Structure 1
Amino acid sequence: MGAVTVVGVLVVAVAIKEALADYEMKGTWPQEEVVTSTKPVLPAATAHRKPKPEPSAQDVFPPAPPESLDYERRPECRPIPGPPRGGNEPHNECADGVPGNAFSGLNVLVNGKYFDALAPAIRTLWEVKTDDFEKQSPRSQDFFVKMKLPELRREKALARACGYDFIIGVRSKAHKQALP
């Protein structure tokens, strides 16, 4: 129907242009020509048009796999930018430098937790730790890991529940080795 309308409008436009040219030359307005020139075009245009195919079973999308991405529909899994919560400038700079960080200068709330960075292209949430871990005594290092490890595991579970990977960014090799 859309093609017929366009052809009909085009024919009417040509007929109007011809009528205007005749009017300028003869000084008369031939309305009969406009009406008669549009009627034969419509049946000819529809005669050459291919019929619209009926939908087949091939046109239907297959059912979603059982492990479908339900987390994408959950509102708590939608990332919401928020103010940085690092507490110091080196921490915020490090979080902003995460490769692919979509919210540079901000934190991102996902599943009730503010993460330091989100790299959406690889669906990864980041937590950045910029403590001077290697400068602490071994006892303080052990205490720090013991206190932080449960929280890091909880954050990883929150990220995974929404379909994100989770990475902890640290400043030193000693800190990286202390975290499993």
Structure 2
Amino acid sequence: MAVMGTGLCVLAAPEIIAGAVLVVGVLVVGVAIKEALDAYALSGSRPEEEEVTLLAKPASRESSSNRKPQPEPAGQDWFSPTPPDSPEKERHPRCEPVPVPHLGGDAAHDRCADQFPPNRFPGKDVLVKGKRFDALQVGVRVLWEIKTDQFDTYSDFLQGQVVRQQVATMREERSIATECGYGFVVGVSTEAHKEALVEEEATLNIVVTGCKR
């Protein structure tokens, strides 16, 4: 471009003659040239900066979306674990022995139940967890089932029937006694009766009382 007139200058295009200055007289227009160049540099770099910013933002969003939120502690985590059960468990109230009158009708049986263990509650059966036992032995936690059958006089068939029925009942009684912390003993009048019961259920604790009818 041409220059005309005193004190005038023309700036060539910055991409062609960067920083060229025409001075007419004593007027210096370097400041104007610098501002023009700065303005051009800013306008030329802005799109590039915006592009970098736009590319960076999606990456940041993706990183944030992929980040798993930290779970907040549940209310139960705020408390210490439940302490283990104490060594001595509290017995169920129904396990406590409750004296009840003998059923009656068999004086020889009731007399044997009172005298042989001996019974802590003479004249009484003992109710434990809804089950009647013939006696609770004095001084120890042992429940007794007393049998005074004339077992030796029964036929073989009847002996088999009686033993199977009695063993089924004794297993139930022993289970209840064990659950409540008691020992369990069966008293029978004769050795033959004991042997027949042991043959059917060897784990029963059976003693011969010798009680007569």
- Tell me if TM exceeds 0.5: yes
Whose Rg is larger?
2
- CA distance in 1 between counterparts of 2:94 and 2:117 reads 24
- CA distance in 2 between counterparts of 1:100 and 1:65 reads 36
2:146 and 2:186 in contact (8 A); partners too: yes
> Of 119, 140, 163, which aligns to 1:101?
119
Residue of structure 1 equivalent to 2:103 = 85
Secondary structure of 1:93's counterpart equals helix
The alpha carbon displacement at 1:105 in A equals 0.7
Residue of structure 1 equivalent to 2:150 = 132
The alpha carbon displacement at 1:171 in A equals 0.6
- CA distance in 2 between counterparts of 1:157 and 1:90 reads 27
- CA distance in 1 between counterparts of 2:154 and 2:96 reads 38
After TM superposition, the structure 1 = structure 2 runs for residues 27-38 of structure 1, keeping only pairs within 5 Å, are: none
- CA distance in 1 between counterparts of 2:195 and 2:86 reads 38
1:100 and 1:121 in contact (8 A); partners too: no
Q: Deviations over 1:83-126 (max 9, x none)?
A: 10253010000001133421111101011111100015221000
After TM superposition, the structure 1 = structure 2 runs for residues 1-180 of structure 1, keeping only pairs within 5 Å, are: 66-71=86-91, 74-85=92-103, 87-180=105-198
Unaligned runs of 5+ in 1: 1-62
The alpha carbon displacement at 1:147 in A equals 1.4
- CA distance in 2 between counterparts of 1:94 and 1:139 reads 27
- CA distance in 2 between counterparts of 1:149 and 1:99 reads 20
- CA distance in 2 between counterparts of 1:87 and 1:167 reads 23
Residues 105, 64 of structure 1: alpha-carbon distance in 2 compared, 3 angstrom cutoff: farther
Q: Deviations over 1:129-166 (max 9, x none)?
A: 11100110111101111111111100000111100000
The alpha carbon displacement at 1:78 in A equals 0.8
Q: Which aligned runs of 4 or more in structure 1 are off by greater than 4 angstroms?
A: 63-67
- CA distance in 2 between counterparts of 1:64 and 1:124 reads 29
Give the alignment's TM-score, normalised by structure 2.
0.51
Higher helix share: 1
For 1:133, the aligned partner's letter is F
Say which structure, 1 or 2, has more relative contact order (CA 8 Å, 6+ apart).
1
Unaligned runs of 5+ in 2: 1-82, 199-213
